[in-house]
Amino acid sequence: MEIRAILKNPFVNLIHTTMTLRILKLAPVAHRGLHSCCVQLVKKNKLPPRPKWMAEMEKDLEEKFLHGGRGPGGQKINKSNSKVQLRHGPSGIVVECQETRSRENNRKIAREKLALQLAVWSNGGSPIERQTALHEWEKQGKRSRERKSKEKHGRHEIERQEERLREMQEEEQLVEALLRKER
C-alpha cells in the first residue's frame, strides 16, 4: 500500500492511499478540540452490505398477517390483513412491518428487518459493521451541517458588524458637519 502525504496547512496532514480511503491525521500542534486519532470518512455508496435473508432461515420463522392499525392506506388498511408480523423461534425476535399497502412488499421488508436483527443477535447484541458505518455517516453529515451553519451565521454577523460600523461613521460625519456649521 502506497501512502503519500500532502501538507494542506501547518496543522493537518491529508493522507491519500491507493484504496481511495481518506484519513485526516492531526499534527501534534493542533489541539483545537479535535482528537489526535485518525478520522475515517464514510461514503454512502461504499457502505458494507446489508445482511441477506436466506432460505434456511425460513424454517425457524412464524409468520402472521394482521389488520393494520395506523399508517398509509386509509380505510383499506383496516379491512385487509396486510400487516406482517415475523417471530424468530430460537431468538424470540419479533418484527412487524406495515410500510406499504401490499402484503408481499411488507413480507419482503419484514424479512430484511429480521435479517438485520438476527445479524445483531448473532453478533452478541453489538451493532454490525453496516450499522456502525451508517451511524458514522450520519454523524459526519451532522458535523458538516453544523460547520456550514456556523460559517453562514459567522458571515452574517461580520456583515452586521460592518453595517453598524458604517452607520456609526456616517453619524459621526453628520455630527462633525453640524458642529462645523455652528462655528
pLDDT, tens digit only, all 183 positions of the chain: 444 444 444 444 444 333 344 444 444 544 455 554 555 677 777 777 777 877 788 888 999 998 877 666 677 777 788 889 999 988 899 999 988 888 899 999 999 999 988 888 888 877 778 888 888 888 888 989 999 999 999 999 999 999 999 999 999 999 999 998 887
Amino acid at 149: S
CB 64 within 8 A of CB 146: no
Q: Is the pTM of this model over 0.75?
A: no
Q: Which residues pair with 84 in a beta bridge?
A: 65, 97
Give the residue carrying C-alpha cell 502506497: 2
Domain 55-122's class? alpha beta
**Residue 91: count of CB within 10 angstroms of its CB:** 14
